[in-house]
Amino acid sequence: MPIDKFTTIESTYVPLAIENVDTDQIIPARFLKSTTKEGFGDNLFADWRYNKDGSPKADFVLNKPQYKGEVLVAGKNFGSGSSREHAAWAVRGYGFKVVVSSFFADIFKNNSLNNGVLPVVVSEKFLQELFDADADNKVIVNLVDQTITNKANGNTESFEINGYKKNCLINGFDDIDYLLNIKDEIANYELSRA
C-alpha cells in the first residue's frame, strides 16, 4: 500500500470518544494471521463494530452514516497495549489519514507514522471541543505548518512531529522510498570515502 503525499487535509471526522483504546480493540488478535497490509480496514474495531453474526452494530460510530471522513478523533491514550503494527494497518486500511487524540502510546504513534497515518496530539480542551461539535464539523490538518484547526470555532493548535517523518509524509515516502530517493547522494558519499 503506497503512502499518499500529505500536506493539508480538510475533512469531517469520526468521533470515537472512548479512552484507553488498546491495539486489541483496534484490531483483534484473531485477524493477525495475514502478513500483508490488505483487508485490515474491514476489521477495524471489529468487536465493537459487528455483532457475532457479522451484522453491523447500529450504535457504533463507524456504522453511523452521519460520521465519515479521513480523520479519526479518539479519546485519550489511543493505541496502548501490544506493539502490533496491524493496528496502524487497520486504521489506514479503513481510510483514515489522521488520528487525533490527547495522548498516544509511543509504539502505536511510531507504527502510524511508518504507515502513512499522522497522529496529532492536541490538548484535552481541544479534543473535547471536537467531540462536542456537530457531525458535519470539519478539521483542517496542516502538516507543513504543524497545525490543526477546528472549523466549528476557529481554534487552532500546533502539534509536534519528527522532522524526518514529516518529510516522509509530505513526499509520500516510507523508509525504503526515502533511501531510494537519496541513492545518488549515498553513492556519492560512498565514493568520496573510497
For residue range 41-62, list pLDDT tens digits in order: 899 999 999 999 999 999 999 9
Average pLDDT across the chain, whole number = 93
Q: What is the pLDDT of residues 97-154, one digit of tens each?
A: 999 999 999 999 999 999 999 999 999 999 999 999 999 999 999 999 999 999 999 9
Alpha helices, DSSP H only, in 3-161?
23-26, 46-49, 86-94, 106-114, 124-132
Q: Which three cell numbers stand for residue 167?
A: 518529510
Full set of structural domains in the chain with CATH: 8-193 (3.20.19.10)
Nine cell digits for residue 130: 471536537
Q: How far apart are CA 144 and CA 164, in angstroms?
A: 13
pLDDT band at 78 (very low <50, low <70, confident <90, very high): very high
According to the model, what pLDDT value does residue 40 have?
86
pLDDT range class, residue 32, cuts 50, 70, 90: confident
Q: What is the pTM of this model?
A: 0.91
